[in-house]
């Protein structure tokens, strides 16, 4: 029952905060998420980005690598949707990462993320605010509280139109990883036992 409720909640959000909004507002909301992420990353050093303050979690460097790898094909899929075409191929995987996510230098990674943000906004800002029949499959992921009280990810495939896609692929995805980066930064600043801090 909880799983179904989460799916309904996601669909309602994408309808109300994606398909139901004027294009200018969709653009503004996506841009705000991108700006927040870039401002959060700006003071992060390469050492902080590559560290793993939480066992079993990605580093900030890996989070940014993931965002770049998912934003690039998402821009292409958005272009297809705006042209009235269903994107070719399966949905973009939820946990997409480079084969060596730490290989690219941190500063270069941040520049690449900014370029992806700019590309997504260019496509959105150049769009016409008209619906199309095209839908893209996406993998939705939400955390659901299990009977044992622990959160576990729930994955399912959803078919969405272009405004909902822009909100899902760029705004919601970025906000999710903003929260992850904040958590990692907070964990990295905690004093370790015996550090005297």
Sequence-distant (6+) residues with CB within 8 A of 2 are: 144, 145
Instruction: Please tell me which residue, 119 or 89, carries the higher pLDDT value.
Output: 119
Predicted pLDDT at 64: 98
**Sign (positive/negative) of CA torsion 162, 181, 90, 6?**
negative
- Is 5 within a domain? no
- By percentage, how much of the chain surpasses pLDDT 90? 77
Contact 109, 68 (CB under 8 A): yes
- Is 6 within a domain? no
CA–CA distance, 123 with 21 (Å, rounded to integer): 17
- Is 169 within a domain? yes
Instruction: Please tell me which residue, 89 or 121, carries the higher pLDDT value.
Output: 121
The rounded Cα 50 to chain-centroid distance in angstroms is 19
Residues 147-167 pLDDT 10s: 788 888 888 899 999 999 999
CA–CA distance, 23 with 46 (Å, rounded to integer): 36
Least confident among 54-58, 89-93, 121-125, 186-190: 186-190
Q: Phi and psi (nearest 5°) for 134?
A: -70, 145
Tokens 């044992």 belong to residue? 148
CA–CA distance, 109 with 19 (Å, rounded to integer): 31
pLDDT > 60? residue 197: no
CA–CA distance, 88 with 76 (Å, rounded to integer): 10
- Is 136 within a domain? no
Predicted pLDDT at 3: 66
Predicted pLDDT at 193: 38
> Mean pLDDT for the chain?
91
CA–CA distance, 187 with 143 (Å, rounded to integer): 20
Predicted pLDDT at 143: 79
Q: Which domain holds residue 124?
A: 23-129+159-188
pTM for the full predicted model: 0.89
- Is 99 within a domain? yes
CA–CA distance, 67 with 55 (Å, rounded to integer): 20
Report the pLDDT averaged over residues 104-111.
97
State the CATH number of the domain containing residue 47.
1.20.120.450
If one counts the domains in the chain, the total is 1
- Is 140 within a domain? no
- Is 154 within a domain? no
Which region holds residue 68: left if phi is over 0, alpha if psi is between -120 and 50, else beta?
alpha
Residues 130-151 pLDDT 10s: 999 999 999 998 878 777 888 8
């Amino acid at each position: 029952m909880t799983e179904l409720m989460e799916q309904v909640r996601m669909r309602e959000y994408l309808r109300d905060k994606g398909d139901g909004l004027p294009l200018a507002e969709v653009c503004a909301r996506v841009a705000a998420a991108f700006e927040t992420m870039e401002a959060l990353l700006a003071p992060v050093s390469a050492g902080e980005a590559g560290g793993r303050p939480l066992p079993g979690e990605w580093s900030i460097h890996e989070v940014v690598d993931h965002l770049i790898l998912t934003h690039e094909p998402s821009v292409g899929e958005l272009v297809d949707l705006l042209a009235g075409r269903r994107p070719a191929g399966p949905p973009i995987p939820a946990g997409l990462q480079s084969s060596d996510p730490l290989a690219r230098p941190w500063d270069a990674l941040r520049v690449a993320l900014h370029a992806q943000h700019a590309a997504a906004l260019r496509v959105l800002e150049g769009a016409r605010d008209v619906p199309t029949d095209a839908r893209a499959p996406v993998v939705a992921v939400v955390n659901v509280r299990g009977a044992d009280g622990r959160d576990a990810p729930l994955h399912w495939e959803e078919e969405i139109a272009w405004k909902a896609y822009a909100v899902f692929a760029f705004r919601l995805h970025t906000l999710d990883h903003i929260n992850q980066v904040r958590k990692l930064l907070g964990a990295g600043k905690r004093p370790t036992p015996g550090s005297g801090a």
